[in-house]
Every structure is written in structure tokens, then in C-alpha cells.
Amino acid sequence: MSYSTSVDFGKLKAAMVAEQLIPRNISDKAVLEACRRVPRHEFVPEKLRQSAYSDYPLPIGENQTISQPYMVALMTECLKLKGGEKVLEVGTGSGYQAAILGEIAGEVYSVERFKDLADNADRVLGLLGYKNIHIKVGDGTLGWSDFAPYDGIVVTAGAPSIPESLVKQLKDGGSLVIPVDRGGFGQVLTLVERIGQTTRTSDICACTFVPLVGKEGWAE
Ligand code: SAM
């Protein structure tokens, strides 16, 4: 029997919620329930499965990472989803954040710049039975205009500034959550709420994400 199959992932998943999310004030019941349901170990490389529920990001290939469980929960909570919404994710990576969103929202559209990551995420999400998550390969800094406007947008990579295209694809009353660079002061997870033709921007917390590379992001 391999180590992986002898690990009780259900127990690790429950402990992740109880020890990493609830004590840090993640309180949205739908978010906590989604984190209890989604098998995070299916989204990480086989040799790292035993660490899938640990309190840190893990490598997934292409020098990219699956984000720390707390960060995924926090970004999802920021969108205040009630169920049935249309959500855009920029940076599919492993597909884990998309699965968490897919548990709550109606439809999830997710853009990834690396084809092999997008293909793998699509495969895992398909095997797990998600039918409401749609992935495309491309530059997510430009959003996915075919399905706009969105109730919520999550950007899972660090931007130099807030991409105008994403703000334009947000519904009135919708929220965009995005790590934004603050020069020498690192990145700040930033919440942008669209109110008519204006926006309200607030800081959530300091964070560290891989760079958002694209036309309205960092240059390659
Ligand atoms: N949400 C992911 C998950 O659950 O595994 C974490 C993704 S990782 C922290 C950030 C991802 O953003 C990487 O896969 C990276 O390739 C992707 N990325 C960076 N710039 C991008 C862009 N302009 N468009 C789409 N994806 C981008």
C-alpha cells in the first residue's frame, strides 16, 4: 500500500478547516462547507499529497503554486457568494480554487496562461464531476468578455495594478479580489467593489502570490 492511500485525507481536510480556517475568522458557512467537501489532495502532484492540507502553498509545475488553504478561503469569502452567481477566476493553476468557487457559485469561468496546467485542472475537475467550471487558456488580465459581466472575480496571482478590463467585466454590486503590488512593501490582497460607474477599494491583508503575467499585468 502506498503512503498516499494509507493517509486519512478526510481527517486532514476536517483538521484544515478546524485549525487553519475557523481560528483565522473564516466564518462564511458556504465557504467552510466547500472547503470540507473539496478533496484538495486530488489537485496536488502525487508525491506531495501527504502535504495537501498543510498551511502553505505547494508547487504544481511551471514554477506555479496551489495557494495556501486559508488564502483560498479568504478570497472566496470576500466575494460574499450566496449561490447561483457567475464568477471569473484568473489563474486556474491546479483547479482547486475553481472547485471551491464551483461548490457555491452557479457557473465558474477560469483562465490560465499555461496550457498544461489548464489541461490538468480540467481533467481533475472532470474526474470529480464538476460541470459548472469552464476553463480556457489565455491572458486572464483581459478577463473573459464572452461571459461578462461577473458577480465576482478572483485573481490568484499578484498584479502591478488593478487591470481595467477586469473592473469593466464586473457587475454593478460585484466584487473583485486581487493581490496588488505596493512597490517595496510587498503585495496587498485588495477588494474592489463596483458601485454603478464608480468603485470602492479596500485592503484586506498582506500576501505573497506568483506574478500575474499579461497585457494588464507584469511583462514576461
Ligand atoms: N488558483 C490556483 C489554484 O487553486 O491552484 C492557484 C494559482 S497560482 C497561485 C497562480 C496562477 O496564475 C498560475 O497558474 C499562473 O500561471 C496563473 N497566471 C499568471 N498570470 C496569468 C494570466 N495573465 N492569465 C491567466 N493565468 C495567469
- 151-178 pLDDT, tens per residue? 999 999 999 999 999 999 999 999 999 9
What sign for the dihedral angle of Cα 17, 189, 133, 194?
Answer: positive
What pLDDT, in 10s, does the model give residues 75-88? 999 999 999 999 99
With a cut of 80, say whether residue 44 has pLDDT above it.
yes
Q: Which atom of ligand 1 is nearest to the CA of 110?
A: 25
Per-residue pLDDT at 4 exceeds 60: no
Residues above pLDDT 90, as percent of the chain = 95
Q: Given a cut of 60, is residue 184 above it in pLDDT? A: yes
Q: Could you read off the pLDDT of 127-152 as tens digits, one per residue?
A: 999 999 999 999 999 999 999 999 99
Question: Which of the following is catalytic: 2, 6, 67, 94?
Answer: 67
Model confidence at 1, pLDDT cuts 50, 70, 90, reads: very low
C-alpha cell at 175: 466584487
* Residues 193, 178: Cα–Cα separation, whole Å: 11
Mean pLDDT of 118-132: 98
Q: Are 12 and 52 in contact (CB under 8 A)?
A: yes
Q: Identify whether 161 is a catalytic site residue.
A: no
Q: Could you give the CA distance from residue 158 to residue 15 in angstroms, rounded to a whole number?
A: 28
At residue 208, the pLDDT reads 96
- Give 141 Cα–ligand 1 centroid separation in angstroms: 11
How is residue 61 written as a grid cell? 509545475
Pocket of ligand 1 (CB under 6 A): 64-67, 90-91, 93-94, 96-97, 111-114, 117, 139-141, 156-157, 209-210, 212-214, 217
| Contact status, residue 1 vs residue 7, Cβ threshold 8 Å | no
Average pLDDT of the residues in 194-215 = 97
Structure letter (DSSP) for residue 27: -
Grid look-up 489537485 returns 43
Taking the centre of ligand 1 as the mean of its atom positions, its distance from the CA of residue 109, in whole angstroms, is 13
Q: Which atom of ligand 1 is nearest to the CA of 212?
A: 20
Give the chain's mean pLDDT: 96
Helix axes 96-104, 69-78, angle to 10 degrees: 40
Whole-angstrom CA distances from 168 to 17, 81, 150, 160, 176 are 34, 20, 10, 18, 11
